[in-house]
Amino acid sequence: MNTDRKYADELDQQDKLSDFRNEFYTPDNTIYLDGNSLGLLSKRAEQAIHDMTESWKQFAINGWTEGDHPWYYLSENLGALTAPLIGAKPEEVVVTGSATTNLHQLTASFYNPVGSRTKILADTLNFPSDIYALKSQLKLQGYDPDGHLIQIKSKDGNMLETQDIVKAMTDDVALIVLPGVLYRSGQVLDMKTLTHEAHKRGIPIGFDLCHSIGSVPHKLSEWDVDFAFWCTYKHLNAGPGSVAGLYVNQQHFGHKPGLAGWFSSSKEKQFDMEHTLTPAHDAGAYQIGTPHLLSAAPLLGSLKMFREAGIENIRQKSLQLTQYLMDLVETELLEYDFKIANPTTASERGGHVYIEHPDAARICKALKADGVIPDFRKPNGIRLAPVALYNTFTDVWETIRILKTIMDEERFKHYENERGIIA
């Protein structure tokens, strides 16, 4: 393993995505490795927000149908820009709501308990918000979550095994909701196999793509996934609270959504103001309320960068960055009791590296004090996300150098080993 700074510089010189770094506002004297929590602001996203407020200023209510990006069709048009990232048809994707709101919508639409088939299958490693939503939906249907939410357990606390998930697909399961990438360890689940096995048993299945969209390619339509949902403020770099998205396989078009609202309507019928819903004949039917235009606008700039860069190129660089990071950890840091806890196989690794250490919380504080922004996950995990569009191999090299100095000089002992309010 070449641990010289010169080698990192050479990798950066070979990077065909390097120009995209200039598109982003990178904090001064900081190595930002938390893009899997909140992506950086790009100049194009900033311009898109300005353009949206200008359209409001110029057109007022006529902005719904006039201007470069008429508001009435914005959610669907952004969905079409998103579709290549997840391997979907344009009409199967719409930008709307928040990730959790969309999960509520999709669960209400796809969870149809009949007879003894009443349970929802999830896992113990999923992001808590998903579990809260699934429990809420069970309660609304009159079921006790303690008995009707099945959560697949992990053998090591970090990863799931495909065969364990398949084994849990029993005759009493009415719906399956799983993450595409586990938010803590970064494990990529085998969505193709899991979908095939679920459908063999007549069970609809959906995936949370919050930690995979924008960093990992998908083929949702080819795999025949029933539905998916995601946020847009992580790898998609659309900003805090930006509008989320959802996917619904075209085989389900024409069905009424579980949670209907004005924007569930067919565009041609919406302003007829009828009290009987005529749902849109595409993923737009799963919208509920009026689009949050100012919070969707950044995606106009961000998604165009993804179209130019190409998700396959992004994935290739991401894997190179995370492999380089893991190699340096193994070469430089194992003597300090660090343990790599994410999958090391490329096909199973998402867009970040997850390392464990007993002093993880205060090591993260020491890193921040030295200009590196990581992410702590309780009880003892550090997530490091070198993002393909704006991080460099030199960022990775510098991070390991700083971390090694922190350990050598025991700087982490200046801090309490407890997380802050926001980890």
Q: Would you say 20 is a known binding-site residue?
A: no
Q: Would you say 100 is a known binding-site residue?
A: yes
> And the tokens for 169?
């697909």
> And the tokens for 343?
């999958």
Contact 199, 299 (CB under 8 A): no
Q: Would you say 233 is a known binding-site residue?
A: yes
- Of 21, 119, 135, 234, the catalytic one is 234
Q: Would you say 344 is a known binding-site residue?
A: no
Beta bridge partner(s), residue 95? 245
Q: Would you say 53 is a known binding-site residue?
A: no
Q: Would you say 116 is a known binding-site residue?
A: no
Q: Would you say 211 is a known binding-site residue?
A: yes
- Of 383, 390, 393, 411, the catalytic one is 383
Task: Note if 272 is an active site residue.
Answer: no
Q: Is 18 left (phi over 0), alpha (psi -120 to 50) or beta?
A: alpha
Q: Would you say 262 is a known binding-site residue?
A: yes
> And the tokens for 395?
């960022």
Task: Note if 336 is an active site residue.
Answer: no
Residue of 90, 132, 94, 36 whose CA lies nearest to 352? 36
- Of 208, 282, 359, 395, the catalytic one is 208
> Please, what sign has the CA dihedral across residues 406, 410, 415, 419?
positive
First to last CA, the chain: 32
Q: Would you say 25 is a known binding-site residue?
A: no
- Of 7, 73, 127, 336, the catalytic one is 127
- Of 183, 229, 233, 286, the catalytic one is 233
Contact 93, 86 (CB under 8 A): yes
Residue of 93, 148, 161, 79 whose CA lies nearest to 120? 148
Task: Note if 383 is an active site residue.
Answer: yes
Residue of 161, 158, 137 whose CA lies nearest to 149? 137
Q: Would you say 75 is a known binding-site residue?
A: no
Q: How far is CA 107 from the centre of its chain?
A: 18
Residue 136 and residue 177: Cα distance in Å, rounded? 14
Residue ranges for the binding site for pyridoxal 5'-phosphate?
100, 127-130, 208, 211, 233, 262, 290
Residue ranges for the binding site?
100, 127-130, 208, 211, 233, 262, 290
Catalytic amino acids? 127, 208, 233-234, 383
